[in-house]
Amino acid sequence: MSVLPKVGIQLCSVKNELREDVVQTLTLLSQMGFAGVEFAGEFGQFTDDPKGLKCLLDSLGLEPCGAHIQLSQFTDNCIEQQLNFYRALGIKLLIVAWDERAWSDANLYELIAELNQLHSRLVVCGFQLGFHNHQHEFDQFQQTTFWDVIALSTPHDFVMQMDVGWLAYAGKNPLEYVERYPGRTWSTHYKAKMSQSVSASGLLSLLDEDSDCWLKLLSANINVGGTQWVVIEHNECQAEGLVYDDIGQAKAQLDKLMRAFSAEKC
């Protein structure tokens, strides 16, 4: 029987609110029914207190489902400090959020070498490493795409965290990419909303697209991609109330898709 992934939220979606009040923001997200949160470098008053933050998450019933990082944070001089922080916070999945070498003809393989080196070191320490896409990784490179080269040049347990909105914006089919790399989409991003400056056809956000297409993608994530976490992300700066409204509506839509998937399996 297929196990439904848990639903988390990328905390950059509420970065302004998080800077104002970490406790209140996490409390609201817990009350909205999220199972977990994915960090992105903002820890508020808990910057030097990961154990305290973990206690807060536990009290709210929230799991730390991962963290977005930069490779510059994991040099030999500071890697142990970073790993100790994330270990105390209970995070095992670290995702490189952005690196311009990922779409550089000249520097792609330099990046891949660094990813593989760090991956080998993290696995020994009990962590997983992965990479997150934006649109540029799907530009053409050597008769394929930069994203494909990264996937083919990293181990099978290296997580390819697909951001569906950006992939669709790049003109690619998310379903095709889940099926192309089975077991690699341990965590994936579904958009609540993208910037108003972004417009294209495809699975851009949960709020404005065909539910049948989303159901097919969710099924592929579960049955092929091995997805354990679907992480909702909001990419448009708005007033606090509107952000929470969009996030709430997106979660309700995702919950509906989960129920539909379960019904199909009965």
pLDDT at 91 over 60: yes
The CA–CA distances, whole Å, from 116 to 80, 109, 157 equal: 18, 10, 11
pLDDT band for 194, please (50, 70, 90 cuts). Answer: confident
Buried b / exposed e along 129-160 (16+ C-beta atoms within 10 A): bbbbbbbbbbeebeeebbbbbbbeebeeebbb
Say if residue 8 is exposed, middle or buried (CB neighbours under 10 Å; 0-12, 13-18, 19+). Answer: buried
Residue 196 pLDDT: 52
SS3 assignment, position 78:
coil
pLDDT at 2 over 60: yes
More confident residue, 115 or 244: 115
Residue 14 pLDDT: 94
Give the rounded percent of residues in the chain with a pLDDT score beyond 70: 92
Averaged pLDDT score across all residues of the chain: 92
Q: What is the DSSP letter of 116?
A: H
Please state the pTM of the whole predicted model: 0.95
How do strand 63-69 and strand 93-96 relate by DSSP bridges? parallel
Distance CA 231, CA 163 (A): 9
Those residues with Cβ within 8 angstroms of residue 185's Cβ, 6 or more apart along the chain or in another chain: 159, 160, 161, 162, 178, 221, 225, 226, 227
Calculated CA dihedral for residues 24, 28, 34, 36, nearest 10 degrees: 0
Residue 20 pLDDT: 92
Average pLDDT over residues 28-42: 97
pLDDT band for 158, please (50, 70, 90 cuts). Answer: very high
pLDDT band for 238, please (50, 70, 90 cuts). Answer: low
Residue 203 pLDDT: 64
The CA–CA distances, whole Å, from 260 to 67, 213, 248, 256 equal: 29, 12, 18, 6
